[in-house]
């Protein structure tokens, strides 16, 4: 059975349309992880609300060995996100015009995960939401809580 020229063009057009829509779905999320608590998602700068992670240049010490705890916080976030889709719930903007949000991967809060992993602090100045996660990490000496460290907000003052 042969297709008429018109039907062939129509079928090719449908296949191209489906192909183009599929490509857009795959590339619909542009993600860059800036540091442990900041990401760029689809062109928007997002700062995780309610937590604070060490700065990239910040170091911590365990048994007199220097650890790049800011870099480690970023790496933990990279590993947690992997190839998953990040979904964020906006909570407004900060003084630097960044979106403040709580972000999730597979319905798990990235902020809660970072704090519970011991590489982020509950930023009590702005939120009480992650205090239980911090208490858990601190009680179990997880991550930074097993090291000598300086709080990120104190480090930034210098």
Reported as a single tens digit per residue, the pLDDT across 129-149 is: 999 999 999 999 999 999 999
Summarize the confidence of residues 68-84 as an average pLDDT.
Answer: 97
Is the confidence at residue 14, as pLDDT, over 70? no
The answer to whether position 146 is within a domain reads yes
Q: What is the CATH number of the domain that holds 138?
A: 2.40.50.90
The answer to whether position 67 is within a domain reads yes
Which residues span the domain enclosing 53? 29-157
**Residue 10: what pLDDT?**
59
- Residue 27: pLDDT band (50, 70, 90) is very low
Summarize the confidence of residues 61-77 as an average pLDDT.
Answer: 97
Q: Which residues contact 139 (CB under 8 A, 6 or more apart)?
A: none
Q: How many domains does one find in the chain?
A: 1
Mean pLDDT, the chain, whole residue set: 89
Token readout for 36 is 């442990």
**Residue 68: what pLDDT?**
97
Given its phi and psi angles, is residue 63 left (phi above 0), alpha (psi -120 to 50 degrees) or beta? left
**Residue 158: what pLDDT?**
87
| Portion of the chain with pLDDT greater than 70, in percent | 83
The answer to whether position 2 is within a domain reads no
The answer to whether position 99 is within a domain reads yes
Cut 0.75: pTM above it? yes
The answer to whether position 39 is within a domain reads yes
| Portion of the chain with pLDDT greater than 90, in percent | 78
The answer to whether position 23 is within a domain reads no
Token readout for 97 is 């015009």
The sign of the CA dihedral 136, 138, 143, 149 is positive
Is the confidence at residue 17, as pLDDT, over 60? no
Closest by CA to 153, choosing from 123, 127, 132, 115, is: 123
For the chain, where are the E strands, in sequence order?
31-35, 38-41, 44-48, 51-52, 60-62, 65-67, 86-93, 99-105, 108-109, 121-122
The answer to whether position 57 is within a domain reads yes
Angle value at C-alpha 33, between 27 and 113, nearest 5 degrees: 110
The answer to whether position 63 is within a domain reads yes
């Amino acid at each position: 059975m042969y297709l008429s020229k018109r039907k062939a063009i129509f079928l090719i057009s449908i296949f191209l349309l489906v192909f183009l829509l599929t490509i857009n779905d795959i590339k619909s999320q542009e993600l860059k992880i800036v540091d442990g608590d900041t990401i760029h998602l689809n062109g928007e700068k997002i700062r995780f609300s309610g937590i604070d992670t060490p700065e990239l240049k910040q170091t911590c010490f365990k048994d007199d060995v220097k650890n790049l705890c800011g870099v480690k916080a970023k790496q933990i976030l990279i590993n947690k996100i992997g190839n998953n889709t990040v979904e964020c719930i906006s909570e407004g903007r900060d003084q630097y015009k960044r979106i403040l949000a709580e972000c999730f991967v597979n319905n798990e809060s990235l902020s809660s995960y970072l704090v519970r992993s011991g590489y982020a602090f509950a930023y009590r100045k702005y939120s009480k939401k992650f205090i239980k996660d911090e208490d858990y990490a601190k009680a179990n000496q997880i991550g930074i809580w097993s090291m000598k460290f300086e709080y990120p907000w104190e480090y930034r003052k210098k």
